[in-house]
Amino acid sequence: MSDLSVVHTTADIRELVGEWRAAHEVVALVPTMGNLHDGHLSLAQLARKTADRVVMSIYVNPTQFGPGEDFHAYPRTLAEDRELVESDATVDALFVPNDAEVYPFGTEQAVRLVMPGFANELCGAIRPGHFDGVSTVVCRLLNIVMPDSVMLGCKDYQQLKVVERLVADLHLPVEVLSGPTRRHADGLAISSRNRYLTSDERRHAPALHATLKDVKAALEAGQVDYQQLEGAALTKLRAEGFKPDYVEVRQARDLARPNGQHAPGELVVLAAAWLGKTRLIDNLRV
């Protein structure tokens, strides 16, 4: 028998977390949009190493989707998600709020955060307002759950950096932790959106990771002409049938453009590319 709690309201999750805190237990939050997979579970397992209790939230946040994006099509699989979490036994509570719980005044009348700078580059340039929506919901989830730490995946590297900035700039009393990207055996990063791929697209999809690996190898071999590397990667992706949004080499710390000199670990190469109707993102630290 699993003793997973599934709660839907702010009052209920606060009561549960309040009991744990009263017992001096450390609480971690793993926010997700559901359709759970090994990547999500790996974050819960990592969170578990630093916390006595792990809360996983499942909420498909409307304010981070732009017009014409896949908000309505996004897979909602709560029954399967619950089974997966129960079989893994790492998560103590699933928090599954509805829109009214997260946005009590509605999304139109919601207080919204506006993120500066790098939140409007890379994916933020292609998806205007996306990271404002991400910050808006993460801030709400942190205020509702009040965890000691929040665990995010490096898979969404820009999102991780945005949340780090959000927490630092608003003095939110929470520690931001991150876990590595889990991949299929062929290199494709595990993602809820992979299910949109046709079988033919699925065969080509690992080329995204392979292309990033090529850029990483060139950088490690000492190449510093980032534009040339980015251009070669775009060409390779197009040859594989992708429509790339971007491939960019950035500083890992703050996503600023690097200036030519870098020590190991200081860079990240990020890409977003369409394969048919599916937009895939990935990145590698260099």
Write out the residues near ligand AMP by the rule CB under 6 A: 32-33, 39-40, 42-43, 152-153, 155-156, 179, 181-182, 189-192
**CB 221 → ligand AMP: shortest distance, Å?**
27
User: Cβ closer to ligand AMP: 99 or 262?
Assistant: 99
**CB 101 → ligand AMP: shortest distance, Å?**
18
| Separation of alpha carbons 31 and 55, rounded Å | 8
- Of the candidates 8, 24, 37, 40, the residue annotated as catalytic is 40
User: Cβ closer to ligand AMP: 234 or 271?
Assistant: 271
User: Cβ closer to ligand AMP: 133 or 179?
Assistant: 179
Catalytic: 40? yes
**CB 226 → ligand AMP: shortest distance, Å?**
25
User: Cβ closer to ligand AMP: 206 or 258?
Assistant: 206
**CB 141 → ligand AMP: shortest distance, Å?**
11
Whose tokens are 């509605």? That residue is: 106
Query: Which of the residues are catalytic?
Result: 40
